[in-house]
Each structure stands twice: as C-alpha cells, then as structure tokens.
Amino acid sequence: MSTVFRLTRTLRPASSFHRLATRPTMSGNLTSRDLDTLEEALRILRQGASSNGGQFPRFYRTSGHMASANMNMKLLWGVIGLNCGIWGYAFYVKQQAAQGYQKPAVQFWQNMTLNLNDALNGRPWQAITSVFTHQDPWHLICNMLSTYYFGRMLAMTPGIGPGHLLTLIIGSGLSGSAGYLYFRSQKAKKAIGGRDWNRSLGFSGAVMGIGAVAACMYPTRQMMIYGILPVPMWALISGYFVYDGIYLNSAETRVAHSGHMGGLAFGLVYYFARLRGVRL
C-alpha cells in the first residue's frame, strides 16, 4: 500500500457500561460511534485492572465480546511488532553487507523474499515469510498504519474473534503470494530461459484482504487520504482494485499489483463465505 490512511476522529461519547451491557446482540455493521465507544470501554477496563491487582472487572470477565476485542487488539499489535522486528533485522544485515559481510544478507533475501523459481524449487516457505518482510521504511510505515486502522475496525466487531482475524491475515498473505506467483509464471513463459529474477515482499496483500473485509462491513465509514480527502471505505478499496488492475502489466511499475489483487480476493471470499452476518 503506498498511501497513509487515517480514520476520521469522531467525538467519543461518555463511557456508559450500561448502554453496552444492555445491547446483548449487535450486528457486525457497527457505526463509528459504536467502535469508538467500545475502544473507550476497553481502555477504562484496562485502567481498572491495573488498579485492581491485574484483575479485570466482573463486567469484562462476563462480556465475551470485550474479551474477544481485547485479544484481537493484542493479535493486531503482535503482527505489527513482527513486521517491524523483521524490518529491523533486514536493516541490520543490509548494513553488515555494506561492510563486506554479505552472507547473512544473502541468506535473508533467499529465505524472506518471494521468487518464482526459488518457491517452486526448494523454498516454498517464501510464500509466507515474504509477507512479513519489508526493506523500505516508508513501505513498512504505510502498511502498518493501514493494518492498524483497518484491523481495528474488525477487532471491535462483535462475532469476530482472534481466530477469524488470524485466518484473514494469513489467508490474505498467502493468497497474495499465490497471485504473484501465478502472474510471474505467465511472465516467465515468455522470458528467455524461463528464469524469473523478480522478488516480492511486503504485507500489502494481507492489508488488502483486511481492507476488503472492513469495506464490506463498514462501506460508508470515512477514511482520510493524506489527512485531507475523505473517502468512504467502499470507494477506497474499489479504487485500489482498479488501480492495481490498470498497472498489472505495466513494465515500469515496481509494485506487485497481482499480490494486492490476490489478497483482496481472499478477503472478499472470506467475508461472504465465513463472516457475512456475524453476530455476538
């Protein structure tokens, strides 16, 4: 993803546990006010736990959704931390290579980036390791901000648990890798010798999958592109799909558009096959 997304900040209502507790069933299509209220409730409940010997209030222990939302956010931060940690190691081996010690860098790029020939000939794990790998810090920042804002919507949605979120992340990442490999295989057929030298990396496929589900659940939720232009979720994700389609076969692009489209496709399939109509 090459654009930093920001959620519009809405006025948060005063926390009311009574209002949350008296809504035993909530549709997956929450409003912006609902999402902010749930996040505020989580914050207050955590503060209560820190002043109560680490024990959450009884309301929290008996609220399946609040517990699930808390676990979802921990998972989300864990995924972000994993991406940042791998980027840190990539930066380290790059500096080592610049000083003449190249073996760690060679091993890293052979195992943590996706190449058609490598993946089909002894390194199939590249399909998942490359998902969490970044080289350019701006690429990392954009993907992680997008992951947080899109992921937060799903983390606060009743009926979506850590299992759903993890399946969506891993599935979208692998689907993005599959889309990229298929596209490169078609290109390799036309190349001399059939050897493909291109490599792919990044969390963008997973971001597109998460974004696709968020757009399906919250189509009218406003996002701010560069903090200036408000765009509804459905238009934002649709725009990226059109953009990727237009530049899919461009010889000048350095973006793995096929990977983006693969991740988005998984998100749509997962939403309609598994998450449509989720309830608390």
The pLDDT tens digits of the residues spanning 13-66 come to 333 333 333 333 333 445 555 555 555 555 554 554 444 444 444 444 445 678
In a domain, 44, yes or no: yes
Instruction: Give, in order, the Cα–Cα distances in Å from 65 to each of 71, 72, 158.
Output: 10, 10, 6
The C-alpha atoms of residue 177 and residue 195 are separated, in whole angstroms, by 18
In a domain, 243, yes or no: yes
Domain of 135? 5-275
In a domain, 183, yes or no: yes
What count of other Cβ atoms lies within 10 Å of the Cβ of residue 182? 13
pLDDT digits (tens, 9 = 90+) for 250-261: 878 888 999 999
In a domain, 264, yes or no: yes
Going by pLDDT thresholds of 50, 70 and 90, the confidence category of residue 158 is: confident
Q: In this predicted structure, what is the pLDDT of residue 41?
A: 55
In a domain, 250, yes or no: yes
CATH number of the domain enclosing 34: 1.20.1540.10
The C-alpha atoms of residue 23 and residue 19 are separated, in whole angstroms, by 7
Instruction: Give, in order, the Cα–Cα distances in Å from 174 to each of 102, 190, 200.
Output: 29, 25, 12
What's the structural domain count of the chain?
1
Whole-structure pTM value: 0.77
- Asked if 213 contacts 219 with a C-beta cutoff of 8 angstroms, the reply is no
**Average pLDDT of span 72-93:** 96
Interhelix angle 64-98/137-155, nearest 10 degrees: 170
In a domain, 280, yes or no: no
In a domain, 29, yes or no: yes
In a domain, 214, yes or no: yes
Q: In this predicted structure, what is the pLDDT of residue 24?
A: 34
pLDDT digits (tens, 9 = 90+) for 48-63: 444 444 444 444 444 5
The three-state secondary structure class of 254 is coil
